[in-house]
């Protein structure tokens, strides 16, 4: 097939510098002795691939790499990408609807009790009760609002941490910087990377601290938000027949709410037990979040489809209790050290004694992860040792000259060489180790971290079923078929992620209409039109906390808290002035110009990556609607704007 133009071409310096900016930006999609052994192992491929697959033995030791040598690695990356590309892109996945609707059922709460429709007047409605919605509610409360209604389809608060209760679930960002409002609400995380139940409890503490359960509607979905110019209110309707009004409406629908399933033929014919990891079936497996033993799997043949961040945690947790565990892989993840440990109370008392400690620690982390400079690394984990971080250090050292593209690419390949070497050092069976080695740029996929996942493949009852990039061929009533071979299975687990590509205008699932009945989807048809990604002209008192026209980060909790503070400042000033929150046309246009000027073109980089949710399964979007600076820079911009009075978003 014809390859898209490579962002790595050594003699194309303009494109190369675009690639550097892309690498620096890619942390938002995300998170030593070099061992050349990983570059010299033979790579088993299909006969068709053998002719075009570069021989890894032609790749020199990392310290000798030159621009010409790098082309061998680039070719290998492209070959791995090409065999995974599918013409249907994201359409290869299925929604959990119709005959597959049971995969999205809520196993964590009783069915909702019948209730009368709610028909009242409130100050604010917040769509979503995950951390985004909870933080919005907290800052609305701080702004002086009394009646704040969180609405969520779940049976409790916590968002992704409400749904995801699978064995081994934990945060992959340090909990001391991930947990929002930790300094204010209090509590000491038990570990550097807190387990899921503890994170959910923190969400519940936020709800209790700010009394956000009082007016909440759970097991409920908002179906429409329509602005009434005469009343200066939003008319809100839900799937339970509720019809109430609100002065403010906040869209805080999270990114990881709806599970997705692979569109494998026969998925609805399987006769065993099958479920998605975000709706873990403890009735089938036994055990619980507290009891990490799974007697229901002891005599079972279990298959887990997917090897992303979720499966990295599930596999080593359930493996000891499975009769046989098949790990079905399309593309291997990078698996770096995790180095988790309990929180030492004395250390905790020391680091938390100064007010503002959490923001200092967060800003330090995000500065380093985005390739910036800091006097010290406070977090000291593998997120602050990504390829872009190394690239900046290599460039500053001058060891590879002054070409930033070359420095960043060499650093990237060195990091990936270490990732492949780590697999070879841990996994005993050479064929399994080879299949587990990742061949793509480091931040093409979200990095993973574990001190037990790779080791699990040394167990006698665990087997890797590598699909060579092609995925499962079909599902039969009794098992799965890969490359023509049927593997009998009793329990089938899908660790296949969530629907993350939904358009920001429609992600909430509600029909949103502003002045004169204008649909938000229509207003944003040619791209989101906002001020700071939060407000839009023609939609008064509607505030968005979604990842559009602002920044994102690997530490999503950090970004959400900054956005909620932004929201609170606008609402507090609007209340003080008796004003509406709605940007001027000039302000909205100026922000669009800022986005265009600072946008980082990641299209070429993403087009070279193996397919995944970062690049829309190999078909990256052409339009970039993210702020090109890092989160610390963006937050400073917002802080100065607030100090200047916010006049361009407040109208009488």
pLDDT in tens, 467-495: 999 999 999 999 999 999 999 999 999 99
pLDDT, average across residues 348-364? 96
Rounded-to-integer distance, Cα 388 and Cα 375, Å: 17
Whether 121-258+503-651 and 259-333+445-494 share one fold: the answer is yes
SS3 99: helix
Question: What are the backbone angles phi and psi of residue 260, rounded to the nearest 5°?
Answer: -120, 150
Counting residues of the chain whose pLDDT is more than 70, the rounded percentage is 87
Check the CA dihedral 24-29-34-38 and report its sign: negative
Local confidence band at 504 (pLDDT 50, 70, 90 cut-offs): low
How many angstroms separate the most distant Cα atoms in the chain? Answer: 73
Q: Does domain 121-258+503-651 have CATH number 3.40.30.10?
A: no
Burial class of residue 597 (count of CB atoms within 10 Å of its CB; 0-12, 13-18, 19+): exposed
* φ and ψ of 531, to 5 deg: -110, 115
Distance of alpha carbon 189 from its chain centroid, rounded?
Answer: 22
Q: Which pLDDT band, with edges at 50, 70 and 90, does 647 fall under?
A: very high
Q: What's residue 107's pLDDT?
A: 95
Give the highest mean pLDDT range of 95-104, 426-435, 495-504: 426-435
Whether residue 345 contacts residue 197, with contact meaning beta carbons closer than 8 Å, is answered with no
N-term to C-term CA, the chain: 59
Place of tokens 């698996």: 335
Report pLDDT digits (tens) over 296-316.
Answer: 999 999 999 999 999 999 999
Beta strands in 6-110 (DSSP E): 93-95
* Coil, strand or helix at 170: strand
> Coil, helix or strand for 149?
strand
Predicted pLDDT at 505:
66
Q: What is the percent of the chain with per-residue pLDDT over 90, rounded to a whole number?
A: 66
pLDDT digits (tens, 9 = 90+) for 523-566: 998 888 999 999 999 999 999 987 678 887 889 889 999 999 99
Give how far Cα 143 sits from Cα of 260, 356, 458, Å: 37, 20, 55
Which CA distances in Å does 106 have to 155, 218, 579?
8, 12, 40
Does the pLDDT of residue 29 top 70, yes or no?
no
Strands 485-488 and 479-482: antiparallel
* Residues 173, 164: Cα–Cα separation, whole Å: 16
- pLDDT value at residue 526: 85
| pLDDT at 187 (0 to 100) | 95
Fold of the 259-333+445-494 domain: FAD/NAD(P)-binding domain (3.50.50)
Predicted local distance difference test score (pLDDT) of residue 26? 37
Please spell the DSSP secondary structure of 182-219, one letter per residue. HHHH----SBSS-BHHHHHHHHHHHHHHTT-STT-B-S
> Which range among 16-25, 230-239, 280-289 shows the weakest confidence by mean pLDDT?
16-25
Q: Which range, 440-449, 562-571, 590-599, 643-652, is most confident? A: 562-571
Q: Are 505 and 520 in contact (CB under 8 A)?
A: yes
- Average confidence score pLDDT of the chain: 87
Going by their DSSP bridges, the two strands 474-476 and 479-482 should be labelled as antiparallel
User: How many whole angstroms separate alpha carbon 418 and alpha carbon 74?
Assistant: 17
Domain boundaries, the chain: 121-258+503-651, 259-333+445-494
Q: Does residue 330 carry a pLDDT above 70?
A: yes
Q: What confidence tens digit (pLDDT) does each residue in 74-118 have?
A: 999 999 999 998 888 878 888 888 889 999 999 999 988 899 999
Question: What is the spatial distance between Cα 226 and Cα 235, in angstroms, rounded to a whole number?
Answer: 5
Q: What is the pLDDT of residues 139-148, one digit of tens each?
A: 999 999 999 9
Is pLDDT above 70 for 421?
A: yes
């Amino acid at each position: 097939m014809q390859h898209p133009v490579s962002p790595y071409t050594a003699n194309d310096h303009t494109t190369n510098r675009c690639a550097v900016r892309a690498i620096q930006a890619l942390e938002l999609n995300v998170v030593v002795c070099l061992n050349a052994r990983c570059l010299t192992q033979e790579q088993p491929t299909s006969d068709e691939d053998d002719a075009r697959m570069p021989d890894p033995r032609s790749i020199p030791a990392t310290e000798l790499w030159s621009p010409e040598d790098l082309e061998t690695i680039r070719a290998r990356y492209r070959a791995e990408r090409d065999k995974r590309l599918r013409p249907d892109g994201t359409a290869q996945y299925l929604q959990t609807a119709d005959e597959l609707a049971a995969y999205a059922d809520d196993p964590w709460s009783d069915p909702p009790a019948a209730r009368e429709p709610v028909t009242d007047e409130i100050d604010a409605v917040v769509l979503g009760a995950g951390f985004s919605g909870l933080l919005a509610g907290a800052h609305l409360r701080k702004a002086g609002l009394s009646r704040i209604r969180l609405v969520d389809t779940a049976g409790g608060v916590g968002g992704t941490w409400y749904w995801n209760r699978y064995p081994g679930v934990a945060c992959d960002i340090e909990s001391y910087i991930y947990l929002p409002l930790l300094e204010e609400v209090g509590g000491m995380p038990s570990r550097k990377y807190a387990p899921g139940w503890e994170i959910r409890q923190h969400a519940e503490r936020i709800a209790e601290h700010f009394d956000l359960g009082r007016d909440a509607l759970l097991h409920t979905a908002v179906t429409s938000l329509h602005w009434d110019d005469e009343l200066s209110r939003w008319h809100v309707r839900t799937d339970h027949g509720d019809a109430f009004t609100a002065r403010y409406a906040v869209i805080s629908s999270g990114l990881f709410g709806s599970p997705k399933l692979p569109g494998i033929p026969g998925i609805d014919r399987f006769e065993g037990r099958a479920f998605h990891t975000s709706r873990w079936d403890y009735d089938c497996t036994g055990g619980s979040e507290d009891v990490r033993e799974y007697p229901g799997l002891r005599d079972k043949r279990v298959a887990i489809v997917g090897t992303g961040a979720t499966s990295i945690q599930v596999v080593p947790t359930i493996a000891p209790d499975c009769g046989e565990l098949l790990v079905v892989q399309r593309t291997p993840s990078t698996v770096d050290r995790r180095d988790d440990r309990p929180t030492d109370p004395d250390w905790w008392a020391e680091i938390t004694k100064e007010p503002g400690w959490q923001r200092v620690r967060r800003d330090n982390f995000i500065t380093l992860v985005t390739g910036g400079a800091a006097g010290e690394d406070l977090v000291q984990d593998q997120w602050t040792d990504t390829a872009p971080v190394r690239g900046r250090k290599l460039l500053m050292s001058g060891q590879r000259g002054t070409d930033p593209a070359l420095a960043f690419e060499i650093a990237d390949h060195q990091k990936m060489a270490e990732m492949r070497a780590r697999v070879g050092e841990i996994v005993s069976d050479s064929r399994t180790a080879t299949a587990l080695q990742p061949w793509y740029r480091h931040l093409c996929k979200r990095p993973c971290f574990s001190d037990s996942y790779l080791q699990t493949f040394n167990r006698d009852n665990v087997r890797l079923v590598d699909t060579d990039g092609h995925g499962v061929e079909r599902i039969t009533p009794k098992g799965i078929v890969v490359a023509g071979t049927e593997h009998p299975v009793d329990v089938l687990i899908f660790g296949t992620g969530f629907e993350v590509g939904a358009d920001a205008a429609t992600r909430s699932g509600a029909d949103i209409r502003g002045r004169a009945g204008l649909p938000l989807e229509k207003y944003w048809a040619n791209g989101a039109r906002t001020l700071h990604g939060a407000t839009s002209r023609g939609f008064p008192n509607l505030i968005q906390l979604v990842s559009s026209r602002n920044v994102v980060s690997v530490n999503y909790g950090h970004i959400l808290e900054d956005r909620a503070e932004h929201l609170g400042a606008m609402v507090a000033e609007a209340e003080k002035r008796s004003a509406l929150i709605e940007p001027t046309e000039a302000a909205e246009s100026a922000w669009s110009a800022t986005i265009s000027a600072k946008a980082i073109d990641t299209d070429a980089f993403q087009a070279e990556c193996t397919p995944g949710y970062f690049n829309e399964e190999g078909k990256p979007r052409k339009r970039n609607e993210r702020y090109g600076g890092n989160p610390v820079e963006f937050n400073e911009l917002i802080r100065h704007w607030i100090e200047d009075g916010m006049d361009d978003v407040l109208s009488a």
